[in-house]
Amino acid sequence: MPLINEIQRIVRERQSARVPFEANRKISKENLEKILDAARWSPTAHNMQNFDVIVVDDREVLEIIGAVKSRISEVFLRENYEQLSFSKEELIKKKTGILIMIFA
């Protein structure tokens, strides 16, 4: 398969999973290395690589991070109202969008 076809397939099939944080979810060392390698090769504005990647594996720190709550902004709601679903059933029916419950 030509490279451009593979790239197009990957772009079409990509998904963003927005799920509640799970501090107890394990990740294999192999997958962590793959994720870190992908982050290292990710493009940045003006090729500046102006970011740091921090791996946190302390369960207590992960619990604290997972408990952080942020308010959803009214601007976000207005700008994204069409993409929002107010139930899992509605999200499944739409087959796209954001489940508003993740912001609760």
Q: Which of 3-7, 27-31, 95-99 has the lowest mean pLDDT?
A: 95-99
Question: Would you say the pTM of this structure is higher than 0.75?
Answer: no
Label residue 59 by pLDDT band (50, 70, 90).
confident
pLDDT at 46: 79
pLDDT at 18: 66
The per-residue pLDDT for range 18-50, each reduced to its tens digit, is: 677 777 888 899 999 999 998 888 888 877 878
> For the residues 48-60, what does the mean pLDDT come to?
86
Q: Exposure string (b/e) for 71-100, b if CB count within 10 Å is 16 or more? A: eeeeeeeeeeeeebbeeeeebeeeeeebbb
The per-residue pLDDT for range 64-91, each reduced to its tens digit, is: 888 887 777 788 878 888 888 888 888 8
Domain limits of the chain?
18-68, 71-104
Instruction: Provide the strand spans (E) within 1-104.
Output: 84-85, 98-99
